[in-house]
Amino acid sequence: MWTMDFSLNRAQTTRYLSIARLVLASACLLIQLFFAPVGTWLVTLSIGVFALLSYYALRKRHRLEGRFGAFVLFVDTLFFILLARYGSMETLWLAPLFYVYLLLSAVSLYTPREVLIVCVGCTLFFATTHPGPQFVLRETILVAGAFACAFSFQKRRLEQRLEELMEQARQSEDVAAAAREAEQQRIAADFHDGPLQSMISIQMRLEILRKLFERDRNAGLRELEQLQEMAKTQVRDMRTFVRNMRPLDVDGAGLTAAIRRLLDDFQKESGIPVTFLGGDRTFSAAPETCTDVLYMIREALHNVQKHSKATRVAVSLEKVGKLLEISVDDNGVGFHFSGTYSLDELDLLRLGPISLKRRARSLGAEMLLESRPGRGAGLKLRVPV
């Protein structure tokens, strides 16, 4: 989108400058034909050729690049020298106007090097003493050329900075797109493993219930009670799923308070007691880092509620130097494997929660996952802040 806008602006600038060149050339030609003294036919012929070239350049303005663009700039410079040095008194007043046009064209469409060549060339040509009124243009050429060169170099510096910012914006868009895709995959996986599987199970149990009622009413009633409990569990899971979909917003100074609110909500929703070891200290960190830390804690708690069958959870938060150390421990059934594994080991063995590992890598954090089958599990993170 930005590239298209720049192309349109350049095309419009080229069009306006081409029109200005043709107007100035036509004015010079008319004045030279009707008011210049007799005997200047060579200058008049040169102005006429330049007017024709200006008309051709207007028709081909989209091609004012590469060799043709450099040729047009060279011809413009020669025409200014011709007009200022050899033109008649009647056309002399147009020379400053054409020099302004020449500098505008060079600054707008060409690189600082080409602007510098034009300004230095014009300055050197008029540096020596010439007889006649053209001498008064030297100061104008020198001062205007210096300003044009300075402006051109500043313009180029700003364009380079803009290109860097546009590249950063494109990279940010790519990162955001990857994050959206990853989050969509995580949500799809959570929905498939959670609510969708529960709904399929309920559907199957309903079919079983229908057949039980046809054969044994009492057995059907018992099955109905179990189905009601399953529905209650499913409601809790859906509430947890919806809660986990809500965005988290926290700044660096409010991380501890945000974790406390998160743990309070988890305890109310799951009924699992939570102990928080973080004190009342505040931690200074980037808002994006704090948000990712909060997401990871919420994801760990969600896994505890969903899979661990734990009756207690302990969460700790501590800043050690430039690292934020976080741990989440429970007394549940643990994972199906035993031992303590780092992030690289978990990836190699294809163990551990995928979303937690992905977030840890994006933060450049160290991650340790400890599993004690039958006695619980522990997650430890060391996040640079």
Please, which residues bridge with residue 314 across strands? 275, 329
Q: Which residues pair with 328 in a beta bridge?
A: 315, 379
> Which amino acid appears at position 228 of this protein?
Q
In the chain, the amino acid numbered 2 is: W
Confidence class for position 220, pLDDT limits 50, 70, 90: confident
Q: Which residue has the higher pLDDT, 157 or 248?
A: 157
Mean pLDDT in residue range 238-265 = 69
Is the pLDDT confidence value at 215 over 50? yes
Q: Which two tokens stand for residue 220?
A: 């059907």
Query: DSSP assignment of 196-233, as one string?
Result: IHHHHHHHHHHHHHHHHHHH-HHHHHHHHHHHHHHHHH
Can you tell me the mean pLDDT for 207-228?
75
Q: What is the pLDDT of residue 327?
A: 92
E strand or H helix at 129: none
C-alpha dihedral over 66, 69, 75, 79, to 10 degrees?
-150
- pLDDT tens digit sequence for 12-24: 778 888 888 888 8
pLDDT for 312: 92
In this model, does residue 104 exceed pLDDT 60?
yes
Q: How confident is the model at residue 173 (pLDDT cuts 50, 70, 90)?
A: confident
Reported as a single tens digit per residue, the pLDDT across 16-69 is 888 888 888 888 888 877 776 655 677 778 888 888 888 887 777 556 666 777
Half-sphere exposure of 191 (CA within 13 A, CB side): 8
Least confidently predicted of 217-226, 244-253, 334-343, 345-354: 244-253
* pLDDT surpassing 70 at residue 93: yes
Q: Which CATH class is domain 248-385?
A: alpha beta
Query: What amino acid is encoded at 175 in this protein?
Result: V
| pLDDT of the residue at 236 | 67
pLDDT at 351: 85
Higher pLDDT, 305 or 205: 305
pLDDT of residue 8: 44
Taken in order 188, 189, 195, 199, the sign of the CA dihedral is positive
Cα 317 from Cα 281, distance rounded (Å):
10
Question: In a 3-state reduction of DSSP, which class is residue 276?
Answer: strand
Would you state the pLDDT for residue 330? Answer: 93
Check residue 350 and give left, alpha or beta (phi > 0: left; psi -120 to 50: alpha).
Answer: left
Task: Quote the CA–CA distance of 279 and 256 in Å, as a whole number.
Answer: 8
Mean pLDDT confidence for 176-201 = 71
- Radius of gyration over every alpha carbon of the chain, rounded to an integer in angstroms: 38
More confident residue, 251 or 240: 240
pLDDT band at 219 (very low <50, low <70, confident <90, very high): confident
In three-state secondary structure terms, 277 is strand
pLDDT tops 50 at residue 288: yes
Spatial neighbors of 376 by CB under 8 A, at least 6 apart, are: 308, 310, 329, 330, 331, 332, 333, 334
pLDDT computed for residue 6 by the predictor: 44
- For the chain, the structural domain boundaries read 2-170, 248-385
Report how many helices (DSSP H) and strands (DSSP E) the chain contains, helices first.
13, 6
DSSP for 32-58? HHHTSPTT-HHHHHHHHHHHHHHHHHH
Instruction: Name the token pair of 61.
Output: 């303005």
Nearest to 306 by CA among 179, 198, 188, 184: 198
* pLDDT of amino acid 36: 65
Look at the pTM and tell me if it is higher than 0.75: no
Select the more confidently predicted residue: 163 or 237.
163
Range 187-192 average pLDDT? 68
**Phi, psi at 352, each rounded to 5°:** 85, 165
Give CA–CA dist 367/379, Å, rounded: 7
Read off the pLDDT of each residue in 287-308 and give the average, rounded to a whole number.
83
3-state secondary structure of 306: helix
